Amino acid sequence: MKNILIYSDTLASFAYGAYHPYKPERARQFKELAARYGLLYEANQEILEPKPLDEELLYLFHDRDYIDLLKASERGAPTVEMLEAGLGSPDNPIIPGMYEFALLAAGGTLLGAQLLDEDAARFVFNPSGGFHHAGRAHAEGFCYINDIGVTIEHLIRRGRRVAYIDIDVHHGNGVQDAFYDSDRVLTISIHESGVSLYPWSGFENEIGEGAGRGYNVNVPLLPETDDHAYWYAFESVVPPLVTHFAPDIVFAEIGGDLHRDDPLANLNITTEVWCRAVGAINALAPRIMALGGGGYNPHKTAALWALAWAIFCGLTPSDSYAGIVGGMMYGPEAQAGSLHDEPSAAESCALKPARHAHDVVRHIRETVFPLHGIAA
């Protein structure tokens, strides 16, 4: 079974603006790091160029009036209707080519899911995908088109069961809203609490409604949550629910912004627990569609994605260029030769975030687990 990277120089070259925090070039940095560390070009790997999503497929998820506004926004000054739909805001600026960019990124996600559904691959990674904040009728959080919502809706209409695991530091609100009343999608988002971070949602009492009650799970964590508390929360919630749900395909939003070096978030997570979480997802899932999502320290995000790619592909990174003059460098040269964080002195666990993580896990065990027949 193949491991496939969906990659496009066109996507990696797109720019939201010099001062915008979202940098699509992270995908190119990841690809170069993966090559540097001997993680590409294995016999069972393939790099595929995406094609733009067929516009008609957008309407599986998005309202037609919103897509019309999105297309029209590039042709003139913003209107009140566009601004009400989130277009032309600082987060979602109107940029020439943004609609084509969004269609191409979404096409990559759909392509990957189709390959998985056809048993042509076991693992696919689209670093330029994962726009989990876009709503049916609005843009938000740097996201214009929700490639995840479109693709999952396509799969469940084909009778597939899908689990969505979101370890991006921001709550996956667009995906939650899309499938809040469905029992065909198990949505789990582990993120910094909406008390302190956009999109100000994703609390543990948001567990779905109607047929979807118990199929929407949120694990909100306090600022300064460290590796110990994060891993306790992840291990306690994700494996038992996903195993019981038995999905056909797992979508994994692996945003690099949960790392302690990210400038837009406040968790204290290192590469050690990142690798544990990715390894757990890999062990749980028969077929995996991984998506880049967030990450606003481009160098660290590229390194985290390279580590994830290595884990999903069963490889060990090895830097052949460390110490060689002219070798590629991302971030401080002190980290050359390793994608992992430097060893640091052991720190005491932050008590308040640790207690909060335990409280959230207890709430999920008491309210969600019984709905699935899982012992608390």
Structure tokens at 108: 């990559």
- pLDDT higher at 343 or 63: 63
- pLDDT of 240 > 80? The answer is yes
User: What is the C-alpha to C-alpha distance for residues 297 and 96, in angstroms, rounded to an integer?
Assistant: 25
pLDDT, position 334: 39
pLDDT band, residue 342 (cuts 50/70/90): confident
pLDDT, position 67: 97
Domain boundaries, the chain: 3-318+353-372
Residues in the chain, how many?
Answer: 376
pLDDT, position 333: 40
User: What is the C-alpha to C-alpha distance for residues 66 and 62, in angstroms, rounded to an integer?
Assistant: 7
pLDDT, position 315: 97
101-150 confidence digits (pLDDT tens): 999 999 999 999 999 999 999 999 999 999 999 999 999 999 999 999 99
Distances (CA, A) of 11 to 19, 92, 96, 236: 18, 17, 13, 37
52-72 confidence digits (pLDDT tens): 999 999 999 999 999 999 999
Q: How far from the centroid of its chain's Cα atoms is residue 106's Cα?
A: 13
What is the gyration radius of the CA atoms in the chain, in angstroms?
Answer: 20
Strand locations in 68-145 (E): 123-126
Question: Do β-strands 185-192 and 162-166 pair in parallel, antiparallel, or remain unpaired?
Answer: parallel
User: What is the C-alpha to C-alpha distance for residues 47 and 297, in angstroms, rounded to an integer?
Assistant: 25
- pLDDT of 291 > 90? The answer is yes
- pLDDT of 346 > 90? The answer is no
Average pLDDT on 170-193 reads 98
Tokens 């666990």 appear where?
349
Average pLDDT on 361-373 reads 98
Average model confidence (pLDDT) across the chain: 94
Helix (H, G, I), strand (E, B) or coil at 136: coil
Q: What is the pTM of this model?
A: 0.95
Q: Are 303 and 330 in contact (CB under 8 A)?
A: yes
- pLDDT higher at 131 or 336: 131
Q: Are 311 and 284 in contact (CB under 8 A)?
A: no
pLDDT, position 332: 43
pLDDT, position 347: 58
In the chain, the percentage of residues whose pLDDT exceeds 70 is: 93
- pLDDT of 323 > 60? The answer is no
Average pLDDT on 164-174 reads 98
Q: Which helix (H) or strand (E) holds 48?
A: strand 45-48
Amino acid (1-letter code) at residue 129: G
Q: Does 3.40.50.300 match the CATH number of domain 3-318+353-372?
A: no
Structure tokens at 62: 């998005």
pLDDT, position 78: 83
- pLDDT of 89 > 70? The answer is yes
Q: Which helix (H) or strand (E) holds 290?
A: strand 288-291
Question: What backbone phi and psi angles, to 5 degrees, belong to 236?
Answer: -75, -25
Give me the active site residues, please: 133
Helix (H, G, I), strand (E, B) or coil at 115: helix
